[in-house]
Amino acid sequence: MAEQNFVDYVKILFRSGKGGAGSVHFFRGPGVPKGGPDGGDGGRGGHIILKADPHEWTLLGLKYTKHIYAKDGQNGRGGLKTGSDGNDIIVKVPLGTVAKDAETGDVLLEITERDDEKILLPGGRGGKGNNFFKSATHQTPRYAQPGEDGIEQWVVLELKVLADVGLVGFPNAGKSTLLSAVSAAKPKIGDYPFTTLVPQLGIVEARPGKSFIMADIPGIIEGAHEGRGIGHRFLRHIERNSVLLFMIPADTDRSLQAEYDILVNELREFNPDLLDKPRLLAISKADLIDDDLEKMLRPTLPGNVEVIFISAVTGKNIQQLKDMLWAKLNSDA
Q: Residue 104 is part of a domain; what is its CATH number?
A: 2.70.210.12
Average pLDDT of the chain to the nearest whole number: 87
Q: Is the pLDDT of residue 191 over 50?
A: no
Is the domain of 152 the same as that of 245?
no
β-pairing, 48-52 vs 117-121, is antiparallel
Number of domains in the chain: 2
Highest average pLDDT, of 13-27, 150-164, 201-215, 269-283, comes from 13-27
Q: Is the pLDDT of residue 220 over 70?
A: no
Is the domain of 61 the same as that of 125?
yes
Percent of the chain past pLDDT 70, that is, above it, reads 89
Q: Is the pLDDT of residue 76 over 90?
A: yes
Whole-number Å distance between alpha carbons of 220 and 228:
9
Average pLDDT of span 159-179: 86
Task: Give the start-end residues of each E strand in 103-175.
Answer: 107-111, 117-121, 152-159, 165-168
Average pLDDT of span 118-146: 95
Is the domain of 135 the same as that of 169?
no
Average pLDDT of span 204-228: 74
Whole-number Å distance between alpha carbons of 238 and 291:
33
What local confidence, expressed as pLDDT, does residue 197 receive? Answer: 55
Whole-number Å distance between alpha carbons of 102 and 59:
17
199: domain range? 165-329
What local confidence, expressed as pLDDT, does residue 71 receive? Answer: 97
Highest average pLDDT, of 186-190, 262-266, 278-282, comes from 278-282
Is the domain of 179 the same as that of 296?
yes
Is the domain of 101 the same as that of 211?
no
User: 258 with 311: CB under 8 angstroms?
Assistant: no
What local confidence, expressed as pLDDT, does residue 196 receive? Answer: 46
Average pLDDT of span 94-109: 94
β-pairing, 279-284 vs 200-207, is unpaired
Point out which residues pair with 281 in neighbouring strands.
246, 307
Is the domain of 256 the same as that of 174?
yes
Is the domain of 177 the same as that of 314?
yes
Average pLDDT of span 236-264: 89
Four-residue CA torsion sign, 324, 328, 331, 333: positive
Start-to-end CA span in the chain (Å): 34
Residue 211: count of CB within 10 angstroms of its CB? 15
Average pLDDT of span 314-320: 95
What local confidence, expressed as pLDDT, does residue 201 receive? Answer: 82
Q: Is the pLDDT of residue 305 over 70?
A: yes
Confidence grade of residue 1 (pLDDT, cut at 50, 70, 90): very low
Average pLDDT of span 271-278: 90
Average pLDDT of span 295-319: 92
Q: What is the CATH number of the domain that holds 296?
A: 3.40.50.300
